[in-house]
Structure 1
Amino acid sequence: MQSESVDDTQTARAFAPAHITGFFQIHDQNDPMKKGSTGCGVVLDGGVYTTVTAGKEIDNTKIFLNGEKVAGHTSKTVVESMTEYPVKVESISDIPIECGFGASGAGALGTAYALNHALSLEYTSTRLNDIAHVAEVRNGSGLGDVAGQVHGGILVRMTPGAPSIIQTDQIPTREREVCCVVLGKLSTSSVLGDKYMVKNINAAGKEAMKKLMQKPTASNFMLCSREFTMNTGLAEDKIIDVIEAAENAGVIASQAMLGNAVFSVPSVTCAPELVSIFSEFGEVLRFRIRTGSIRIV
């Protein structure tokens, strides 16, 4: 049994990358280790830096995001599943929050890895990854981001569940650019709780996976993602306007799932024409595909 507090101040910092899902299929299970999604997404070099501090001056667990105290249910679940010590969790995000960039999963992973290092818990990466996934599904903040984030690149999730039990594949790629435009926030839980929407998502997700595996390339991933967006009815009018504007310029774009944002993985780079088109609709963000994974910093 652990004691009530840590005598000496202990701290550690970890980075976990963003993840954009292009298409997915929901697999609901009572066991959070088996619950999740199949689909495909891309991991970015932007993400969330999380610092965990433990010490006798901390009397209860507090979660901060970009300097503001938040409920942080997912990160708090991670902490409670790993230790009885109260800790301070401070996350700094260089990606949008609640916009389809997997910020919740990145925060959960960063919390798990930083806490493990700060308290010398000696958990393996496999266990930490699973803890983050379980925290995500229990809090309704995500289904498949963690699996993508722990692998990097363009990951195909062939079976659902925690990272240690799923089957995955990857689309080989260099660290090419990803261009995004953010239009606003969208609650993941609000979509996942709509049974009619879930039915549409699963039908479109199954078809997208079939087409992707017939031609597993980055360009076909974008085509399958765009088709998924259009077939599910998830996209609001403004999302469709951005996608069509990009298409008129010869660029494939799609909605970041689940978020109010559009992304594109162009064949070479984010051309000035694409940046100009995206900038007419909102803030343009440029990343690169991250083929690595989580790190202690």
Structure 2
Amino acid sequence: MQVRKRSARAFAPAHITGFFCIHDHEDPRKKGSTGCGIVLDGGVVTTVTSAEELEETQIILNGEQVGGHTTRTVVNMLTNSPLLVESVANIPIGCGFGASAAGALSTAYALNDALSLDLTSAKLIETAHIADVVNRSGLGDVIAQSYGGAVIRTAPGAPEYGKVDWIPVASKEVLCLTLGELDTGSVISDPDFAWRITSMGKGAMKRLMISPTFETFMQCSRDFALGTGLASDTIIDAIEAVESAGGMASQAMLGESVFAIAEPERRDAVIEKLSEFGQPLAYHLNNCRAGLL
């Protein structure tokens, strides 16, 4: 007998962190980060299909079967049934765009609908957050992707504990340049980096809250990238090149990527400078958030 399949589709946007502080806790619901970042219109679309003929859950990313540890944790937390999880990402993977969190969060929403679990958004967000932190693939992306915009994370953790505020900002183009991957887990588990990140992050947060504008966010992010020592020589060169063309730029945390903004009259000059290092990608900052499609 052919097994009837139930499926659902959901989207979760990319999130670029500009600066952050690490907040460790034995309870993964309370573990996370504070800081500020931006949510983009690019992201991950995931289709979840109930597939009882499979022996175990299969996770497909951009047409290829992957381990998908963060996404798999979400599945295991919500069901014992085997699923086919198919994600399509139009953002770079492992480069500071919150792709692991977006995959996990979109999976949670689609799985909930496909299996009629009738869970609230808070529970789905909590599940994705726990999966992200226990797999050390991220700390604060999930909560930001759940709200959209320029998100200030003022308290760490899942919805019951985490709190957010926003920088009021109109939709704007964000130019991105990916130079390579960076292992989030190895950085946040390094005691020296963790201390510098939290120290610099606290200072950046104080500056931002005194003057909560998008320009301040960009300046604080730039100073954070350089001050923590996370920015490589190539990242620094790319940031300085953007600034020489009249734009503002910083590093996507945590990734070997640059994100930049420019006034319309300086856009072409900024793209030309970024193109010296690779192929720029264009997204938009807006108020899109995770949810069903």
Q: Do the structures match in fold with TM over 0.5?
A: yes
The counterpart of 2:136, out of the listed 116, 137, 140, is 140
The question of 1:179 aligning with 2:171 is answered: no
Q: 1:270 to 1:140 in 2, by over 3 A?
A: farther
The question of 1:208 aligning with 2:204 is answered: yes
2:48 matched to which residue of 1? 52
The question of 1:217 aligning with 2:209 is answered: no
* SS of match in other structure, 2:11: strand
2:24 matched to which residue of 1? 28
- Separation of aligned partners in 2, 1:26 and 1:93: 27
How far did 1:164 drift? 3.1
Q: CA-atom RMSD, angstroms?
A: 1.3
The question of 1:130 aligning with 2:109 is answered: no
Q: Is the 8 A contact 1:43 1:153 kept in 2?
A: yes
The counterpart of 2:81, out of the listed 79, 85, 92, is 85
The one-letter code matched in structure 2 to 1:179 is L
How far did 1:283 drift? 1.8
How far did 1:113 drift? 0.3
The counterpart of 1:279, out of the listed 275, 280, 289, is 275
Normalising by structure 2, we get a TM-score of: 0.97
Question: Kindly, what percent of the aligned residue pairs are identical?
Answer: 54
The counterpart of 1:41, out of the listed 37, 42, 46, is 37
1:81-138 deviations in whole A, cap 9, x for unaligned? 0011010111110000000000000000011000001011100111100100000001
How far did 1:270 drift? 6.9
1:3 matched to which residue of 2? none
2:108 matched to which residue of 1? 112
1:191 matched to which residue of 2? 187
- Separation of aligned partners in 2, 1:270 and 1:61: 48
- Separation of aligned partners in 2, 1:52 and 1:249: 44
Q: Is the 8 A contact 1:177 1:270 kept in 2?
A: no
2:160 matched to which residue of 1? 164
Count of matched residue pairs = 292
* SS of match in other structure, 1:50: strand
* SS of match in other structure, 2:92: coil
How far did 1:55 drift? 2.6
- Separation of aligned partners in 1, 2:57 and 2:29: 25
Q: 1:269 to 1:188 in 2, by over 3 A?
A: farther
How far did 1:165 drift? 1.9
* SS of match in other structure, 1:53: strand
Q: 1:77 to 1:269 in 2, by over 3 A?
A: farther
* SS of match in other structure, 2:287: coil
